[in-house]
Amino acid sequence: MKVLVAVKRVIDYNVKIRVKSDNTGVETANVKMSMNPFDEIAIEEAVRLKEAGTATELVAVSMGVTQSQETIRTALAMGADRGILVETDQELQPLAVAKLLKALVEREQPGLVIVGKQAIDDDSNQVGQMLAALLGWAQGTFASKLTIADGKAEVVREVDGGLETVSLAMPVVVTADLRLNTPRYASLPNIMKAKKKPIETLKADDLGVDVAPRLKTVKVVEPQKREAGIKVESVSELVDKLRNEAKVI
Ligand code: AMP
């Protein structure tokens, strides 16, 4: 079984995000970029499936600027066999990404697609669901466990207040949640080996996909600053403040 994994280049999760002065977006110039953390988990899961003999080939795909190649290289160093970059300078919204992935799925014919549950830059949580809908495939979202056997995928899903187990007929789209696994660090020898693995570069036009944005960002602003808290001396003072200052009781 071939597995396709989508890996997005995003601002590193340790970076303090700065909003652009004209409120059109966030600063990305000279900012450290990394693989979306949920996509690291997606790659790790695919590598484990390959190590277990369930998967035979692992293709890492990314869409975006030329530098997204680095994100694919990280996936290759973690264990992916080859990469595909759909190169574009245009802003890609989740529907465009899902359409590009659909076109790649039609070309590559994988039995399983794993994406992250959400990209930490746009926090959309849409691509996996849209892709499954476009393909007419089953979907196992927010996966915290994935077992593949007898043409079925059993996915344990993180739902509000507990876990839900679903059994899905393959092929499937799975979206990786935080507890699915702990991704490995790429070892130096594997980073060196990854340099020799192939990355194919395509344009959206090669796949016949219209990636024009459908949504317009009206404004991006910083979250309101929280005021500093205070320490109260006693429970009665706390109750007094809640009642008379905050007026919440
Ligand atoms: P989102 O729906 O935007 O929160 O993204 C969910 C998942 O879709 C991410 O974790 C990635 O696996 C995948 N994805 C989104 N955008 C891209 C992109 N430009 N390139 C590759 N994968 C992407």
Quote the pLDDT of residue 164. Answer: 98
7 within domain boundaries = yes
Quote the pLDDT of residue 111. Answer: 98
Q: Which atom of ligand 1 is nearest to the CA of 36?
A: 10
Mutate to test the pocket of ligand 1, among 127, 130, 142, 207 (most ligand atoms within 8 A of CB): 127
Q: Where are the alpha helices (DSSP H) in 79-164?
A: 94-108, 127-135
Residue of the CA atom closest to atom 19 of ligand 1: 63
- Domain holding 121, by residue range, is 2-244
Contact yes or no for 173/131 (Cβ under 8 A): yes
Q: Which atom of ligand 1 is nearest to the CA of 129?
A: 2
**CA distances, 37 to each of 41, 118, 248 (Å):** 7, 9, 38
Q: Which residues of the chain have pLDDT under 70?
A: none
Q: How far is the CA of 232 from the centre of ligand 1 (A)?
A: 45
Distance in angstroms (rounded) separating the CA atoms of residues 80 and 14: 25
28 within domain boundaries = yes
Contact yes or no for 61/44 (Cβ under 8 A): no
190 within domain boundaries = yes
Q: Check residue 103 and report its DSSP letter.
A: H
Of 12, 3, 138, 9, nearest in space to 80 by CA:
3
Distance in angstroms (rounded) separating the CA atoms of residues 148 and 112: 10
Question: pLDDT tens for residues 203-233?
Answer: 999 999 999 999 999 999 998 888 898 999 9
Q: How far is the CA of 161 from the centre of ligand 1 (A)?
A: 26
Burial 230-247 (b: 16+ CB within 10 A, else e): eeeeeeeeeeeeeeeeee
Q: Is the CB of 47 under 6 A from ligand 1?
A: no
168 within domain boundaries = yes
Q: Which amino acid appears at position 139 of this protein?
A: Q
Phi, psi of 52 (to 5 degrees): -85, -5
Q: Check residue 14 and report its DSSP letter.
A: T
pTM of the model: 0.92
249 within domain boundaries = no
Q: Which atom of ligand 1 is nearest to the CA of 123?
A: 4
Q: Is the CB of 118 under 6 A from ligand 1?
A: yes
Of 161, 64, 63, 54, nearest in space to 112 by CA:
54
CATH of the domain at 52: 3.40.50.620
Q: Is the CB of 92 under 6 A from ligand 1?
A: yes
Quote the pLDDT of residue 93. Answer: 97
Q: Which amino acid appears at position 162 of this protein?
A: G
Question: pLDDT tens for residues 114-124?
Answer: 999 999 999 99
Which two structure tokens, joined as six digits, stand for 168? 């899905």
Contact yes or no for 35/9 (Cβ under 8 A): yes
Which two structure tokens, joined as six digits, stand for 162? 């507990």
Distance in angstroms (rounded) separating the CA atoms of residues 138 and 165: 14
Burial 71-82 (b: 16+ CB within 10 A, else e): bbbbbbbbbbbb
Indicate the number of domains in the chain.
Answer: 1
107 within domain boundaries = yes
Distance in angstroms (rounded) separating the CA atoms of residues 139 and 166: 9
Quote the pLDDT of residue 225. Answer: 87
210 within domain boundaries = yes
208 within domain boundaries = yes
